[in-house]
C-alpha cells in the first residue's frame, strides 16, 4: 500500500521540492500551505506521516501539532524548522513531534528521516529491507545473504534492527547497550563490542561495513547503491 505524506510548508519553492522529492520515493503526497488547511486535511484524511513546517502564515506548526495530539491522532510528525534546532526541538518533542530537521537539509537526509519514521511508526508487515547483499524481513525475523539464512541471536537481531532503523548514523555504545539489553539484565557498554564484532563477522559476506568510531561506538556504513 502506498504511504501517504502530508507536506505542510508555505514556501512555494521548498514545498514543490519536498513534494517532488517524496513523490519520487513513491509516496503519495498531500500539500497544504496554511495551518488551517492542514488541520482540516488531517481531520478528513489519514496520513502516514506529517512533514510540518513551524513558520506558517496563520497558525504555527506547534499549534497544529498540539491540536493533532489533543485529538489523539498519533500520526508521526517530522518537524521542519528554520529556527534553532535545539529550542524548537525541545518544544516540538514536548508537543509530540517524532523528529526534526533544520533547514537547509540535504535530499538524502530528508529521505532517510522520512523512511526511518515511517518504518518506526508502522513496522510494515511485508517490510523487506535490502542492504547490499543482505535481505532482512523483520516480521519473520529472517536475515538472508544470497538466499542463505543468517543465524542471529536475539541480541544480534536487536542490534541489526537498531542499525537498520538509523542508517548512516553513528550509534554510541551506551545507546546500543540500552537498546539491546533485556529489561532486567543490563548490557555493559564493553560487552557491546562482543556483539558488534559477532554481527560484523556474520554480515561481512554481504559487503556490509560496521565501522568502529573511536571512543564512541559504531557506524553502519551505507553501502554504495
In the list 44, 106, 151, 225, the residue contacting other proteins (rule: CB under 8 A) is: 106
SS (H, E, C) 185-218: CCCCHHHHHHHHHHHHHHHHHHCCEEEEECCCEE
- Check if the beta carbon of residue 136 is closer than 8 Å to that of residue 163: no
In the numeric block, the cell 498531500 is attached to: 30
Q: Which stretch binds other proteins (CB under 8 A): 26-34, 136-144, 182-190, 209-217?
A: 209-217
To other proteins, the closest distance from the beta carbon of 81 in angstroms equals: 9
Interface with other proteins, residue 168, by CB under 8 A: yes
In the list 26, 84, 125, 183, the residue contacting other proteins (rule: CB under 8 A) is: 84
Query: Could you give the dihedral angle defined by the CA atoms of residues 52, 27, 114 and 156, in that order, rounded to the nearest 10 degrees?
Result: 150
In the list 28, 69, 169, 198, the residue contacting other proteins (rule: CB under 8 A) is: 169
In the numeric block, the cell 522529492 is attached to: 21
In the list 37, 63, 99, 221, the residue contacting other proteins (rule: CB under 8 A) is: 221
Interface with other proteins, residue 18, by CB under 8 A: yes
Give me the residues that bind other proteins (CB under 8 A), please: 11-18, 20-21, 24, 55, 80, 82-84, 86-87, 102-107, 110, 168-170, 172, 211, 213-216, 219, 221
Amino acid at each position: 500500500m502506498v504511504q501517504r505524506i502530508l507536506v505542510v510548508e508555505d514556501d512555494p519553492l521548498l514545498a514543490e521540492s519536498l513534494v517532488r522529492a517524496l513523490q519520487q520515493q513513491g509516496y503519495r503526497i498531500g500539500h497544504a500551505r496554511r495551518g488551517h488547511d492542514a488541520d482540516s486535511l488531517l481531520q478528513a484524511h489519514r496520513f502516514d506521516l506529517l512533514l510540518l513546517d513551524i513558520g506558517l502564515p496563520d497558525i504555527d506548526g506547534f499549534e497544529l501539532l498540539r491540536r493533532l495530539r489533543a485529538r489523539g491522532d498519533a500520526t508521526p510528525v517530522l518537524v521542519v524548522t528554520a529556527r534553532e534546532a535545539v529550542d524548537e526541538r525541545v518544544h516540538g518533542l514536548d508537543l509530540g513531534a517524532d523528529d526534526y530537521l533544520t533547514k537547509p537539509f540535504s535530499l538524502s537526509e530528508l529521505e532517510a528521516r522520512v523512511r526511518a519514521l515511517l518504518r518506526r511508526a508502522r513496522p510494515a508487515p511485508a517490510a523487506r529491507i535490502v542492504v547490499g547483499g543482505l535481505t532482512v524481513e523483520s516480521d519473520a525475523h529472517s536475515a538472508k545473504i544470497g538466499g542463505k539464512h543468517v543465524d542471529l541471536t536475539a541480541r544480534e537481531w536487536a542490534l541489526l534492527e537498531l542499525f537498520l532503523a538509523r542508517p548512516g548514523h553513528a550509534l554510541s555504545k551506551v545507546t546500543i547497550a540500552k537498546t539491546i539489553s533485556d529489561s532486567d539484565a543490563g548490557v555493559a557498554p564493553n560487552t557491546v563490542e562482543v556483539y558488534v564484532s559477532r554481527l560484523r563477522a556474520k554480515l561481512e559476506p554481504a559487503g556490509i561495513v560496521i565501522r568502529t568510531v573511536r571512543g564512541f561506538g559504531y557506524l553502519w556504513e551505507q553501502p554504495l547503491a
